[in-house]
Amino acid sequence: MLKKSSLVLWGAALFIAWHGLLLLFLWSRPPSSSSSSSFGGEEGSRLTAQVIRLAQDAETELERQKDLLRQIRRYSQLWGRRRVRPPAPKSSPGPPDKLSPPPPVVTDAADTVLPVLVLACDRSTVRRCLDKLLRYRPSARRFPLIVSQDCGHAETAQVIASYGDAVAHIRQPDLSDIPVPPEHRKFQGYYKIARHYRWALGQVFRTFRYRAAIVVEDDLEIAPDFFEYFQAAFPLLRADPSLWCVSAWNDNGKEQMVDVSQAELLYRTDFFPGLGWLLLAELWDELEPKWPRAFWDDWMRQPEQRRGRSCVRPEVSRTMTFGRKGVSHGQFFDQYLKFIKLNDRFVPFTRLDLSYLKKEEYERVFLPKVYAAPEVKVEELQGNRRRELGAVRLQYSGRDSFKAFAKALGLMDDLKSGVPRAGYRGIVSFVYRGRRVYLAPPSDWTGYDPSWS
């Protein structure tokens, strides 16, 4: 690979030098006396025009080759990382377009390389996202930034290019419309998003061959300890097969519903949160062959994909969204999303013991805590009564009672395949009027009902 990239660089440099000499020759060459005597004025003008066109064509080609050279240099660092990666162990042969990345190698968390994949389209405000990522990133080597752009939006492309070698800028090659059922005509954007995710994640795991990746979109702003959080959670994700992602997002993370004094508190959740999340290459191996044509995030929340696994999520979100305008036309933004509290206190997660989040240990401690909390009625909560009880539990018995309680208390009340947002075993933990509340099913809960929606 080293020889190949060197040859490409030398070839591009020689090509540029040749065109530079050609331009110099054409521009500095004096007019021939024989030509002026042999041809009339009209023929001479035509010859001059041909020379000028040749020079212009050469100049255009020169600029194209310069752009090529810039791209080669930009990706040389990524190629370098691929060179030093140990070769993948031999496995059973498969189709050539289904290359598998090497399995994770147990290393110290401080040496882990976790690329951040930024999905961009036509928001020139991607600058707000990239500025914070670069501001809080502790190491360019351990957290390379890859911006994958769809849509072909020129202004957004210029913003991304303005960062130079600080980010790798890749572009979704297929910008065509997608054939959709007539009833989904207005959802064309969701189909394009799913296509972009598939292509971009394929680049990260198949082309660049990373072992894991943090995924964000161009309308997210991050907290000061965003990278610290993911660096600390990565070994946990790798060690616990009952986890399939780590998310920076709390769906019920409005400021009045979280305990900002416990910014270090993390939970397990059965709901896929997204909005800044970490996945392993092995998960992409599993998901890529059946990736959906649209609505990829709700697809992730289906039992067939989740397969009983959970994600880690924080008490206080490590991302916030500023993208009211998008394919969802601001759905939930004005009511919930713009009120999400972004953590502003750095938590040294890599110094903390996160083993309490492993399934057996978590359930050994969390479930007794929930069901030992005194049960109260929703009217008592709303009236701020029985304050002496401390943490309390509000019990729901079915879909309708969950939705009624959630709406009354300001929680997001929608369910996906029966799973409440931020819920674990049906339990949603939040703060209401300054005290901890667990909205929970009965203690003999037997599982989610996918018909709840």
The residues assigned a catalytic role are: 297
Of 336, 409, 358, whose CA–CA distance to 240 is shortest? 358
> What residues contact residue 427 under an 8 Å CB cut-off, 6+ apart?
370, 438, 439, 440, 441
| Dihedral sign for Cα atoms in the order 30, 35, 41, 46 | negative
Among 200, 199, 143, 150, residue whose Cα is nearest residue 166: 143
- For helices 41-84 and 2-28, angle between their N-to-C axes, nearest 10 degrees: 160
Angle at 411 between CA 352 and CA 357, to 5 degrees: 20
Task: Indicate the DSSP class of residue 391.
Answer: S
As given in the structure block, the two tokens for residue 190 are 């969701």
411, 430 Cβ separation under 8 angstroms: yes
> At a CB cut-off of 8 Å and minimum separation 6, what does 90 contact?
none
Alpha helices in 176-219 (DSSP H): 188-202
* Longest distance between any two alpha carbons in the chain, whole Å: 109
3-state secondary structure of 174: coil
